[in-house]
Amino acid sequence: MALVDLLLVVGIIAGVYSLLAIGMNMHWGDTGLLNFAHAGFFAVGAYTSAILTTPPATGSLATRVVGFDLPIVVGLLAGTVLAGLVGVLIALPSVRLEGDYLAIVTLSAAELIRLLIHNEAWLTTGAQTLKNIPRPLDATIPFSYDLFYFVLVWALVGVCYLLFERLSSSPFGRVLHAIRENDDVPLALGKNTYVFKLKSFGIGAAIAGLAGGLWAHYVYAISSIMFLPSITFLIWAAVIIGGAGSYTGAILGASVIVFLRQITRFIPGDVPFGDQLSYIRLMVVGVVLILVLYYRPQGLLGDAERLQAGTSE
C-alpha cells in the first residue's frame, strides 16, 4: 500500500472516531454524564444502515431473512435516528443515576445491544459477518475512492463540529454546562434538567450512529466483535486527551488515538511481544492518557475550568 493510500485510510478511521468523540464530548464534556454505551450506539448505526441497504441473504447457509436494499442515504439517516432513539431509551431510566451507577447501567446496555446483534441471526446474521455492504457512489468515482470517502467523512465531521460548537454556546448548551457543574442550580431556576439530559444523550448517541453507518459502508462487512466495550474506552481516552468540553480537542484526541493504534500495526510480528500487539496498543493509549492527565489534566486543548465536570459528581 502506497503511503498516500495508507494516510487516507488512517484519515478515514480518524474521521469516524472524531464523530464518536464529538458525541461523547456532548455527554461528558458538556453535560457531565458518565456514558459507557457509545460502542452500542456505534453498533446500532452500523447494523441499521447495513440491514436497510442490503438485500436478504440467500443460499442454503443463509440465516438473515431481513433486508431492504434501500439507498445508502436512507440507511445512514435511519441509523442516525435509531441510534438517537436508543440513546434516549437507555437514558430514560438511567440519567437520574449519578457517577458510577450511571456508568454501570450504560456499559450493561451497550453489551446487551452487542449480544442481541450476536444472537438475532435472522436480522443481523448473528455471529457471522454481514457482508456486501454497498459503498456510496462506488462505481462512479473516477479517482481514488479512499480520497472521496476521506473528503466525505471529514466534511461530515466539519458539519457536526460547527453544529455542536453552536449548540455548546447556545442557551441549550449553557444549561448543559450548568447541569455539568451542579444540576441543582438550573433545577432551582426552573429548568427541567431530566429533559435536558435526555436531549444530550439522544443527540450524542445519534452522532455515534452516524459514525457507525459511515464505518459499515466503508469496510464492506461488519460483525458483532467490532463493537466491543474497548471502543468506548478509546473514545473516552480521546475526549480526555483532547480536553473535555472542547470539540476541537475531541477531534484532536481521536486523531491521536487512531495514529497510535495504526502506527503499531507496522511492528513486525517476530519482535519480542510482537504477538501481543492488540494488548500493547491499549497499553500505549493508557500510557499516553496517564501522561496527559499528569502534565496537562485539562487535556491538550481543554480549559482548566472544565475540570469541574469531573468534580461536580
Q: Which three cell numbers stand for residue 180?
A: 455539568
User: CA–CA distance from 50 to each of 23, 76, 136, 202 (Å)?
Assistant: 21, 9, 12, 21
Sign of CA dihedral 33, 31, 75, 17: negative
**Model pLDDT, residue 292:** 93
The strand pairing partners of 222, in sequence order, are 130
**Model pLDDT, residue 280:** 77
Q: Which helix (H) or strand (E) holds 83?
A: helix 72-94
**Model pLDDT, residue 261:** 86
Q: Which three cell numbers stand for residue 205?
A: 448517541
Phi, psi at 66, each rounded to 5°: -115, 135
Q: Give every CB contact of residue 247 below 8 A, 6+ residues apart in sequence.
A: 22, 25, 29, 161, 164, 165, 168
Sign of CA dihedral 150, 152, 155, 156: negative
223 and 130 in contact (C-beta within 8 Å)? yes
What does the DSSP 8-state code read for residue 187?
Answer: H
Q: Which helix (H) or strand (E) holds 47?
A: helix 38-53
**Model pLDDT, residue 312:** 44
What does the DSSP 8-state code read for residue 268?
Answer: -
Q: Which three cell numbers stand for residue 10?
A: 488512517
Q: Which helix (H) or strand (E) holds 152?
A: helix 145-169
| pTM of the model as a whole | 0.94
Dist. CA 135–CA 198, nearest whole Å: 33
The strand pairing partners of 130, in sequence order, are 222
313 residues of the chain, pLDDT tens digit each: 578 888 999 999 999 999 999 999 999 999 999 999 999 999 999 999 999 999 987 765 668 889 999 999 999 999 999 999 999 999 999 998 888 899 999 999 999 999 999 999 999 999 899 999 999 998 899 899 999 999 999 999 999 999 999 999 999 999 999 999 888 899 998 999 999 999 999 999 999 999 999 999 999 999 999 999 999 999 999 999 999 999 999 999 999 999 988 877 766 655 565 566 667 777 888 899 999 999 998 999 987 655 544 444 4
Which residue from 84, 86, 79 is spatially nearest to 52, judged by alpha carbons? 79
